[in-house]
Structure 1
Amino acid sequence: MLRKVSSLVNNVNLFKIVTLVIFIFQNVPSDFDIENIPMKIAFVWGMYLLAKDFFFEKNMFKEKFSYLLFALCVSFGITVLLNFPFQFPYTVYNLGYLMQTVLLVYPFQFNKDEDQQVKWLTHFNDIFIVILFVLSLVSLIYFIFDIQYWVIDGTGNHWLRQGFLENRLFGLFTSPNFGAILGLLSVFMSVINNSIKRGDWKQFTPFYIANLIVQYFYYILANSRGTTLTIFALFMGFFIYQIFRSFQNSTQNKSRQIGKVIIVNSLLLFTIVSVNNQVEKVAAYIPPIVSEGLNFFDQGEESKSSTGSSIISPVVIQHSEEDSEVSSGRFTIWKAGVDATLQRPFFGLGDIDIYRNTKNNETINHIDMSKLSQQDRSELKRAQGNMHNTYVAIFTKGGLFALVIVGVFGCFYLFSHLMTIVRGNISFESAMSQQYIIIFVMILALLAENLVENHILFANRNVIGHIFWVYAGYLNYLQAKLKTTKVR
């Protein structure tokens, strides 16, 4: 019994799955904060696994370019010391989650049994897909019946929207953008599972098809620009890959092949946009029609006589024109964060939520507030530490040194995998090659999405960042397998 418990506690893959579930529900305000205690236990668990690996197994140093990520952690450790006691202990939490992300979640090959490793990933994917399907389906029900309410977050300080509010579907998630990008990731993980289990990314099971439909409707109703940017980046990534393959494979009529790719993709893009617009228009009538139907059954003939000649007005699905969304003023948020960090440019501020736990008119000693404009101060207070840009977040929290280290790591990592695609004899007919190309393009798309959101680094307990780093490690595993496999 003790041996079994020890095996579970020391299982890094189990840790990744447990934290995945916790991080999902971290973004579901209506769950009564049930993840709070498990989240704290998981943090301690992760630190234990980190210490164990550092002193004994040293897997964190075996992953691709891991020395740069270790240097990032050292750099941010210096940041924590230089900013003490300001934002303490939050800067320590930031360091702990950073280390767990890049030194524990990113390394993939903790288990020498390769079949078990891949099998674990399919379980990881399916757990995420099932949970997202349920949450998104309930969110759609909220839309159909026009359910909307506010709940207080785990801190007890902020009220969060749920349901269909301000012309967009929040559903059960903290924001429409977050719910939509999670839905896209669930479809992406379905595609990967198709390739792993059935050898073809297009072989969807009935459940995966149902999830695809649910996530599509959530995306339409969420009206998420960030997810639209991600989808467009995915589209462009595969478009460029098709052009590259046309150059690589065609011995003649290359211009014809390229022209065909351009025409087909242009028609596909036009069709998707047109269909999306029509689906949005039709969906806008669902809540008022359902409402009228419920009124009819509740009030009987009286309702029938009073509503027989009424005109049903559709709901509006669009971004609010008012400044009600924090993300609506991204540029001013970025400017405020950069202006504040320029007072400590090399190692950053450790944590940019400088107004945390402060009262009105309370003096902020972390930085010289007199050097910031009134707009900068109000934007920092409004953003509550979320810079809505991963690269700005890296600079504000870790400074110039952290930004340079991450930049070098990103260049080395992407160049290495790009060269595998360019120089390698990779065929999309091979299941392993399918996974490799799809994951690489998805990583590029998420990097583009993080120009307007902060998910992949210095975003504690972020399920999108968690998935990003799991797949960044898996891509390294696929690269190593492709190099040793003759038939690709």
Structure 2
Amino acid sequence: MKEILLRKGSQATGFKLLFLALTLLSFNGLMANHTALTWIAYAVTAVGIAVLVIRVVCFKKYLHAKGLFLLIAFCGSYALSALLTRQYGLSENAKALVWMAFQYFILYTYDTTSDGTAEKKEFYIISHFFMAYTFLAVAAGTVMLFTDYYSYTEVNGVVVILGFLWNRLWGVYSDPNYGAVFSAVTVIMSLYFYKDAKKPLKVLYIINIVLQICYIAFSDSRTGMVSLLCALLVYVYLTALRSKKLEAKKTFAKGVICVLLAVATIVVSFGAIKVVSVSTSAFKKWQYEHIVKSDKDKTEAQKEKDKQKLEIGRQSDDINGDVSNRRFAIWGSGFEIFKSKPLTGVTFRNYVPYAEDKLPNTYIVHNDFDKFRSMHNSFVDILVSQGILGVVIIAAYIILVLVLIFKNFFKFKGEKYKYHTVLLSIIAPIFASMMFYSETFYMNTGGAFLFWLTLGYLVQSVTMKPSDVKEISQGK
């Protein structure tokens, strides 16, 4: 009985679902400053600590997980940075370390004695929980779009936007960029589960794919579009590479065909996004002309301006002609902070107080907009937060993981290969999004959750012993 409890406790599927719910709801505008979030956070913290204790008790099963000691060193580096900048705040960094521990040592760290069956079942459960949430979120957002609903409020000093505003759909997401990346991931999950699903579920998967592509179009998120591109490129290329129809082709010809198929899929998807964007804009303008334009209290100029606001897609003046939307200036400010403390950094939670004290004229605290509390690039975040020490550790971890994945990826066939393909295709768009906003490191987001979870599944599966691989690859 004790052994069963320890096994179930260390697997922690229930905890992972609760943790995922917290990360998703934290970026839901309807839940902004809601007391329920606080209680969920307390529950996640309590259960997460219990799971960590169980894993320490069963440490032999996890000790040889690939990259574990590098992640421990990375957390140690962050703790050192926090201690060296404690005068700017310590409690927030302590919380950050707790979330990092949950991500690295529960989501990523895997049972090296497992044959992967339990993890694959868990992946099915968590994926469908995630897809159900994004389906409901995007469906609600679409209703907001066509009913011209929007809300702009301030909650404890933070602006919360809902609905359609500034020529883009936020929906229920507090940030449309995160929502668009969620949509890209949902498309991949739906494609993977579609093939073996029963007919009613297949219909739902198709509807979900259509809705998610529409949300990427409505949100006008360039980050979401790049993420979708990366996801489809990886998924279609790797799927086509092992297609039975291409088995007879020579290696070079097969590679060319797979690339062309991936590119064609991307072109069709982006064409669909453009069609959705243009046709919806046209419909909303027609709706305006026939319903709203009759307002006699407005001048023709005001009516024309209102009409332009209905068009999906931000104009150049919306981002002040800056193609990076302030990112270049933020990154430059990040390098200024890095140069002032290059070895250990200033921690993610202490950017602003440190900059205000040491570099009061740097862009993140001295601009015409607001104080920026992240670098909008995960690797700049690491450089500024943990300096050279943190960068060296995480670079070693990334190299290790890449070598393990690509050294072993193509030795698998059948269902095992398909499983690895979907995992890598989920990681790809989240990794791409890290170039444009803060994600995966120091962030308690749905994207960070999925990144560390699926990376753990993938590394565990591709590094199994040959005898285990043969047994598992024969069936689902």
Q: TM-score range by the shorter chain?
A: 0.7 to 0.9
Contact 1:337 1:352 in 2 (8 A): no
Alignment of 1:329-478 (within 5 A): 329-355=326-352, 366=354, 369=357, 371=359, 373-378=361-366, 382-422=370-410, 424=411, 426-427=412-413, 430-459=414-443, 461-478=444-461
Contact 1:164 1:171 in 2 (8 A): yes
**1:84 — aligned with what?**
86
**1:360 — aligned with what?**
none
Partners of 1:396 and 1:419 lie apart in 2 by 32
Contact 1:164 1:170 in 2 (8 A): yes
Secondary structure in 2 matching 1:285: helix
Q: What letter is aligned with 2:445? A: N
Partners of 1:403 and 1:380 lie apart in 2 by 31
Contact 2:237 2:261 in 1 (8 A): no
Point out where structure 1 has 5 or more consecutive residues left out of the alignment. Answer: 303-309, 356-363
Partners of 2:356 and 2:181 lie apart in 1 by 37
Partners of 2:240 and 2:125 lie apart in 1 by 34
**In the TM superposition, what is the alpha-carbon distance from 1:102 to its structure 2 partner?**
0.7
Structure 1 vs Structure 2 CA RMSD: 3.8
Contact 1:111 1:117 in 2 (8 A): no
Distance change >3 Å, CA 293–CA 464, structure 1 → 2: same
Contact 1:351 1:397 in 2 (8 A): yes
- Tell which deviates more after alignment, 28-37 or 255-264: 255-264
Matched, 1:328 2:325: yes
**1:31 — aligned with what?**
31
**2:234 — aligned with what?**
237
Alignment of 1:58-457 (within 5 A): 59-109=61-111, 112=114, 114-153=116-155, 156-194=156-194, 198=196, 205-237=202-234, 241=238, 256-261=253-258, 263-290=260-287, 315-320=310-315, 321-323=317-319, 328-355=325-352, 366=354, 369=357, 371=359, 373-378=361-366, 382-422=370-410, 424=411, 426-427=412-413, 430-457=414-441
Secondary structure in 1 matching 2:153: strand
Partners of 2:41 and 2:381 lie apart in 1 by 23
Secondary structure in 2 matching 1:385: coil
- Tell which deviates more after alignment, 232-241 or 272-281: 232-241
**In the TM superposition, what is the alpha-carbon distance from 1:88 to its structure 2 partner?**
2.0
Secondary structure in 2 matching 1:164: strand
Partners of 1:58 and 1:237 lie apart in 2 by 35
Secondary structure in 1 matching 2:151: strand
Partners of 2:307 and 2:343 lie apart in 1 by 55
The one of 462, 466, 469 equivalent to 1:479 is 462
**1:306 — aligned with what?**
none
Partners of 1:106 and 1:132 lie apart in 2 by 23
Q: What letter is aligned with 1:336? A: S
Distance change >3 Å, CA 350–CA 254, structure 1 → 2: closer
Secondary structure in 2 matching 1:485: helix
Distance change >3 Å, CA 281–CA 137, structure 1 → 2: same
**In the TM superposition, what is the alpha-carbon distance from 1:124 to its structure 2 partner?**
1.0
Distance change >3 Å, CA 101–CA 85, structure 1 → 2: same
Distance change >3 Å, CA 199–CA 69, structure 1 → 2: farther
Q: TM-score, normalised by structure 2?
A: 0.83
Partners of 1:61 and 1:290 lie apart in 2 by 61
Secondary structure in 1 matching 2:169: strand
Secondary structure in 2 matching 1:205: helix
**1:43 — aligned with what?**
45
Secondary structure in 2 matching 1:159: strand
Give the percent of matched residue pairs that are identical in Structure 1 and Structure 2. 16
Q: What letter is aligned with 1:178? A: Y
Partners of 1:401 and 1:182 lie apart in 2 by 32
**In the TM superposition, what is the alpha-carbon distance from 1:293 to its structure 2 partner?**
6.6
Contact 1:337 1:396 in 2 (8 A): yes
Distance change >3 Å, CA 5–CA 474, structure 1 → 2: closer
Contact 1:199 1:431 in 2 (8 A): no
Residues 310-335 of structure 1 show CA distances to partners (whole Å, capped at 9, x for unaligned) of 9x957221125334899711111111
Contact 1:75 1:398 in 2 (8 A): yes
Residues 185-228 of structure 1 show CA distances to partners (whole Å, capped at 9, x for unaligned) of 22223344447xx399x996222222111111111101111111
Residues 164-203 of structure 1 show CA distances to partners (whole Å, capped at 9, x for unaligned) of 11111011101211111112222223344447xx399x99
Q: What letter is aligned with 2:345? A: G
Secondary structure in 1 matching 2:437: coil
**In the TM superposition, what is the alpha-carbon distance from 1:105 to its structure 2 partner?**
1.2
Residues 28-52 of structure 1 show CA distances to partners (whole Å, capped at 9, x for unaligned) of 1222523122113312332332234
